[in-house]
Amino acid sequence: MSPRFSGLLVSAMVFLTQFLSVTGDSNIGVCYGLNGDNLPSPTDVINLYKSSQIGNLRLYQPYPEVLEALRGSGLAVAIGPLNNDIPNLAADQNAANAWVNTNIVPYKDDVDFKWITIGNEVIPGPLASSVPGAMNNILNALATAGLQVMVTTVVSGSALGASYPPSAGAFSSDTVPTMTGVAAILAQQGAPLMANLYPYFAYASDPTHISADYALFASSTPVVIDAGLDYYNLFDAMVDAFNSALEKINFGNVNIAVAETGWPTVGNEPYTSVQNAQTYNKNLMNHVTQSGSPKKPEYIMTVFYFEMFNEDLKPSAVEQNFGFFYPTMQPVYPFW
């Protein structure tokens, strides 16, 4: 090996090491909400993502000041329009073009847009029927701009008519037409369906039937055995309920990504606590970076934690206290 080639190889290895140290686990991200009146500047927030080795960021609407701060950061970004904009994006290709030309194109050379989310928990609901049309129009606008970004939507468990056991997972009858249209668009792109999954809420609402160990990834034996698959934790059962629902509309090839999951530290004791939040989030990290769900064990999902900061303008104490960090940028508990 020539000295020059050896030097180039070493330089490349150093660059790769530095890149990986900045981005951390490539399938892990954190949601960046701005429902607070005391949050740090976007530049400080993006630097905190980088110093914490968080590689993916989810943004709920296109804040120009955040997009500016993301330039050159190397973070992979999920972003979407406001829910109320969806009908207009579905009805008018020019509106979709304008959204892409305003919020994506000016930043395309410096920001790594990986996902565009059309709707956050709007299926089922009055906006649901507009989602497939808006997805298609945004895809057309991206193509016109010469860009390739995955376009998806974000659903919650309310899109399911059945979820237990996981193999019985099925979309509710009123969501099947919309979800079939969405899934067809996702399959064409090779894009995942995004879901907000919260074992915390299921456990806190029914602790008699759902154990803390099952919710917190702490069970050493299967809690649910279903269709020959062992479920040690509620998170996997929630994921596979969606996988089963997709199979039932003949789109089992569409994968799941998790757009939100987390555990609050305050507001509903004894279920909320620093210890429970730290346990859930750490055990989730260990699980999803190493394996998929029982139905798709080889598929490593993208997972976004909810959320970066405690946000004081949220409506309840629980909602205000999902953050990894206080607005001072001090950690709520050691994690990153």
- DSSP of 38-99: SPPPHHHHHHHHHHTT--EEEESS--HHHHHHHTT---EEEE---GGGHHHHHH-HHHHHHH
Q: Which residues are catalytic?
A: 121, 260
Cross-strand pairs, 325 = 309, 331
Residue 288, number of CB atoms within 10 A of its CB: 22
Strands 160-162 and 28-32 come out as unpaired
Q: Are 23 and 74 in contact (CB under 8 A)?
A: yes
Verify cis geometry, omega within 30 degrees of 0, for the bond prior to 334: no
Farthest-apart Cα atoms in the chain, separation: 68
Helix (H), strand (E) at residue 20: helix 3-23
